[in-house]
Amino acid sequence: MASIKKMNFTHLVGQKVGTVTLLKELARGGMAVIFIGYQQSLKRQIAVKILPKSILTPVAGKLFQQEAEAAAILSHPNIIPIYEVGETEKFLFFTMQLVKGRTLSEIIEMAGKSLVSFRRVLPVAETLQIIINVLDALDYAHSQDIIHRDIKPANILIEAHSRRPLITDFGIATLARGENLTAGLIAGTPVYMAPEEILRSHIDKRTDIYAAGVVLFEMLTSFLPLPPFKSTRDLLEKKLTLKDRLYTKKPSQMNQQLDTEMDDIIFKALAYNPDDRYPDCGAFIDRLKAYQKNL
């Protein structure tokens, strides 16, 4: 089976997919490629995500379909809207809003390279507003019985002109009313993965709260103070053995703009035991808004 990273898609430029003409490749993931396309009927550019059938497995196909369906169910200003889902002779596809901006991971990385020390982290006020918006979107998704399961900076797009965050990539989302396609598998991104995902135990809204807490920690410090690890497996094992002692520093020790209250806020979201975390995103938002008032 061919790897998508080695595949050539230049022949697709100029072709029509559904109601859209493909203009140029925008990005690649593990299983799919995203193009910028032009929708003649509405005279707008949109994004087109394509999964070639040449690398299609039954599970990959179902996950791709589930990603489109999960996002299409949701209508929220901080979640990428899906326009159309379909397939051609050679690939599956869906179209979605084209966001002009950068991923949060790119923004964090750029800040971390600043020559001015206090600019190596994102401003606290802006960080809080971004994470509150992300949590509000997750709270809405949870109300629709959808758990994202892969919240991380690379899956949060920041619109250039408005600084509005938009959650994308529901590729491994769990639909409470549908088949769990990743049951029995460790799915997600290790650094942001909650302990219960590693243990393959019960997944619920608190799994996304854990990941959002890691994202908040990273935004406020530029890098996560994890203990040294030799491999992904080693990191996952450390998460399970060190539990609530995983991080070697507190946020307030890494960012002089923070106090110990922010340490408490973040570490509650990162509690090893889901019962010790915020019960839902609304409770997390309330705690952050109370902190906002005292900035």
Residues assigned a catalytic role: 150
- Determine the Cα–Cα distance for residues 136 and 124; give it in Å rounded to an integer: 18
- Number of Cβ within 10 Å of residue 283's Cβ equals 15
Contact 275, 283 (CB under 8 A): no
140: Cβ contacts below 8 Å, ≥ 6 apart = 74, 76, 79
Maximum Cα–Cα distance across the chain: 58
- Determine the Cα–Cα distance for residues 116 and 222; give it in Å rounded to an integer: 13
**HEC states along 178-236?**
CCCCCCCCCCCCHHHCCHHHHCCCCCCHHHHHHHHHHHHHHHHHCCCCCCCCCCHHHHH
- Determine the Cα–Cα distance for residues 192 and 210; give it in Å rounded to an integer: 7
- Which amino acid appears at position 19 of this protein? T
Per the structure block, which two tokens stand in for 9?
A: 């898609």
Contact 197, 143 (CB under 8 A): no
